[in-house]
Homo-oligomer: A and B are copies of this chain.
Amino acid sequence: MKSLIYLGPGKCVWQDKEKPSIQAPTDVVVKISRTTICGTDLHILKGDVPSVEPGRILGHEGVGSIVEKGEAVGNFAVGDRVLISCITSCGRCPHCRRQMFSHCERGGWILGNRIDGTQAEYVRIPCADTSLYHAPNGVDEDALTMLSDMLPTGFECGVLSGGVNPGDTLAIVGAGPVGLAALISARLYSPSMIVTVDMDEHRLTTSKELGAKHAINSRSENAADAVLRLTGGVGVDVAIEAVGVPDTFDTCQQIVAPGGRIANIGVHGKPVTLRLEKLWDRNVTITTRLVDTVSIPMLLKAMMSGAIDPTRAISHRLHLSEMLKAYETFGHAAREGALKVVLSNG
């Protein structure tokens, strides 16, 4: 089968590799009908993620149909159309039993990392009963693909951890796919004002189309000053960090109101400076989180009811065989006006 294989820093190919097969009675093999590329995949390609070894098929997002199943799989049958969670969960370790699937002792983020992933014609999914979800009848599969990772990440790490409530003011620093996912899903809780911050005018424009009241280009003005001005000097109830660099985290510290929350989504490669000398008496909460994907069942319901439409974060649609072109597009997001690139196969 064809697959996107990582060969080491800066190198990947779209080439044949043996089709996966059942290794444990809880496995299934899924024929991929949709997959997509995550910012994390770009980090892997740069060589930033040492757990990924050369030879690995990348990708941790996707939709498809089951073509083979282990004998202990009880929730799914061959032929079922399924959504693949980016987080593999065994359902029986202490972390899974407390709903923190991200730290599953047998799973967590392993697809396209420690085992072969979804950017291929087929993928083996371990712990299938607790790592897959049935595709609802009539669902738009492009939209569904956004529920593997992007939407639960924005929602759980940003919106849930940030405790967005009706009437709240909300700033989202970083309007890439995950920041937009936070925006789309934050609206489930009806905040009174959403402000986005980014340096890319296209993303800011998209954020306004998706419901941001104000969009601040941090190239042209000081983001913290602007947010404070928009909130009468008080700051926001919730600041979501969706970039992963010290500057954007610092912006969040400057704009959080007393009693407010900073929810970090960004993947950080360096420490940041925490201004405790200013924040110690501000009654603020700061959270970090790797997505658990516990919210997928709810997000499915919200999507099917029309409350959220994640297709707004899709900018390009290609055939699965155009994987390298997809990487080229997604890797030059600003130039290409790229958000999520969906690859489909049948």
Contact A288 B277 (CB under 8 A): no
Bitwise interface map of A from 268 to 294 toward B, beta carbon under 8 Å scored 1, else 0: 111111111101111111111110101
User: Is the C-beta of A79 less than 8 angstroms from some C-beta in chain B?
Assistant: no
Selected contact of A273 from candidates B71, B274, B277, B307, CB within 8 Å: B274
CA distance A292 to B74 in the complex (A): 22
A90–B90 Cα distance when bound, in Å, is 12
Shortest A319–chain B CB gap in Å is: 33
Q: How far is the CA of A186 from the CA of B118 in the complex (A)?
A: 38
Q: Which residues of B contact A287 (CB under 8 A)?
A: 283-286
* Interchain CB contact under 8 A, A71 and B25: yes
Interface residues on A, range: 35 or more
Contact between B130 and A298 (Cβ–Cβ < 8 Å)? no
Contact B192 A166 (CB under 8 A): no
Chain A 100-139 interface mask (CB, 8 Å, partner B; 1/0): 1011001000000000000000000000011000000000
Q: Mark A19-62, 1 if CB is under 8 A from B, else 0.
A: 00000011000000000000000000000000000000000000
Among A175-183, A219-227, A259-267, A335-343, the stretch in contact with B? A259-267
**Which of B95, B188, B258 sits near A190, CB closer than 8 Å?**
B188
Contact present for B271 and A193 (CB under 8 Å): no
Contact of A103 among B259, B269, B298, B308 (CB under 8 A): B259
Chain B residues whose C-beta falls within 8 Å of the C-beta of A187 in the assembled complex: 190
Q: Please tell me if the beta carbons of B301 and A167 are within 8 angstroms of each other in the complex.
A: yes
- Is residue A77 contacting chain B, with contact meaning CB distance below 8 A? no
Q: What are the 9 closest A-B residue pairs judged by CB atoms, nearest first? A: A281-B290, A167-B301, A192-B305, A167-B298, A268-B276, A274-B274, A91-B91, A166-B188, A92-B129
